[in-house]
Amino acid sequence: MVKAFFRLTLALMILMSSTAAHVDETVTYTVQNATRTAILHEPAATVGHAAPLVIALHGSGDSVAHFQTSIGFDAVADRENFIVAYPEASDAHWNYGRPVRKMPLLNGQQVDDIGFVRTLIDDLVTRKLVDANRVYVTGFS
């Protein structure tokens, strides 16, 4: 009886250790001579092949850390096997082209958020993490 219990416990430990959860990685890029960052949520099931990518843009004034924990995409990504990228806006605001009192600036120029997101996508495709034909963007305001 004790041997059977020991074997069952050992088998469960091996099984649990081989089913890794997800891997979160902070990626950094230089855009407009400034460092831009994003959190990359990569479920274990996506490792080793190009997976779909969902880019999730936080709302104005929000942070990536808060957005990631409140949106719930990580659990969906883990279940449906896609990668989520959470890019960080410069000064918590995206340059979305709408006239506002003060457009976000970076090193004295309007922030190039499109260039930042393109750099992010290009890197993930080059690293063969992401399928270039299955890239999607969503966001909150």
Does position 69 have pLDDT exceeding 90, yes or no?
yes
- CB contact at 8 A, 129 and 44: no
Lowest mean pLDDT among 25-29, 57-61, 97-101: 97-101
Range of lowest pLDDT (12-26, 32-46, 80-94):
12-26
Domains delineated in the chain: 21-139 (3.40.50.1820)
Distance CA 62, CA 44 (A): 28
pLDDT tens for residues 120-130? Answer: 999 999 999 99
Tell me what pLDDT residue 105 has. 72
Q: For residue 35, give every residue at least 6 positions away whose Cβ sits within 8 Å of its Cβ, in sequence order, or none.
A: 28, 29
- Asked if residues 123 and 116 have their Cβ atoms less than 8 Å apart, the reply is no
> What pLDDT does residue 116 have?
97
Distance between CA 29 and CA 52 in Å, rounded? 21
pLDDT (tens digit per residue) in 86-125:
999 988 888 876 666 666 777 777 889 999 999 999 999 9
pLDDT value of residue 118 = 98
Do residues 77 and 62 make contact, with C-beta atoms less than 8 angstroms apart? no
pLDDT of residue 76: 97
Burial of 67 per CB tally in 10 Å (0-12, 13-18, 19+): buried
- Give me the pLDDT at residue 12, please: 43
Does 20 score more than 70 pLDDT? no
CB neighbours (10 Å) of residue 20?
11
Model pTM above 0.95: no
